[in-house]
A and B are shown apart, each in its own frame.
Chain A
């Protein structure tokens, strides 16, 4: 089971780019990296998923170095509504093994 480690909390001002890094030193060859966002009193919401290099969608970018032992979620120009907890998961797409286990998450607070 590839354990993930994230910072417990981060603060950022509105309009700044925020980068949240997740460490997963024991990532396996078939593992993908998935990020979720959770607002208070809601279930987590999928943000982005990737295997290597860079993935970008309308919400965020995910940077994964060649050794894949870490990944960075990048949120461009955050707003107050981006205040949430962000979770990094690592698991096997296809078999789904271990892709269901949430770590501690990073609590992002966006400051006006």
Chain B
């Protein structure tokens, strides 16, 4: 298994500002994933982050809005840029045990934009 921590656990931000969310894993992993979960909804994949290469974004998500860094095999950040109230959501990071097998999720970051 993998233990994942996220910082911050929650934040309240003003419209137009940016927030960087950190994800730390207790073991080295090749791929990390970022999801968004809006209140009462399912999870939506934002992007896949490989160490040493650019993140791969899913349809509807762009690098300018959600820049991702992956400086090493245990850490990643997701920035939510130029925030609006529509960005209020829970942001989760995850890793896979092996490609295609079970994912381990962090506790999430609850973001509220006012």
Contact = CB atoms under 8 A, between A and B. Distances in A.
Interface stretch (B67-75, B76-84, B95-103): B95-103
B99 A95 contact: yes
B66 interface: no
Contact of A49 (B94, B102, B108): B102
Given A93-B100, A96-B100, A102 B42 contact: yes
B105 A45 contact: yes
Contacts of A66: none
Nearest to B44: A102
Contact of B43 (A44, A49, A97): A44
Nearest to B31: A96
B101 A93 contact: yes
A91 B103 contact: no
Given A49-B101, A103-B42, A42 B108 contact: yes
Given A100-B45, A101-B45, A43 B105 contact: yes
Contacts of B101: 49, 93
Interface in B81-114: 92, 94, 96, 99-108, 110
Interface of B: 4, 31, 33, 42-45, 48, 92, 94, 96, 99-108, 110
Given A102-B42, A105-B42, 4 more contacts: A41-B110, A43-B108, A87-B42, A96-B31
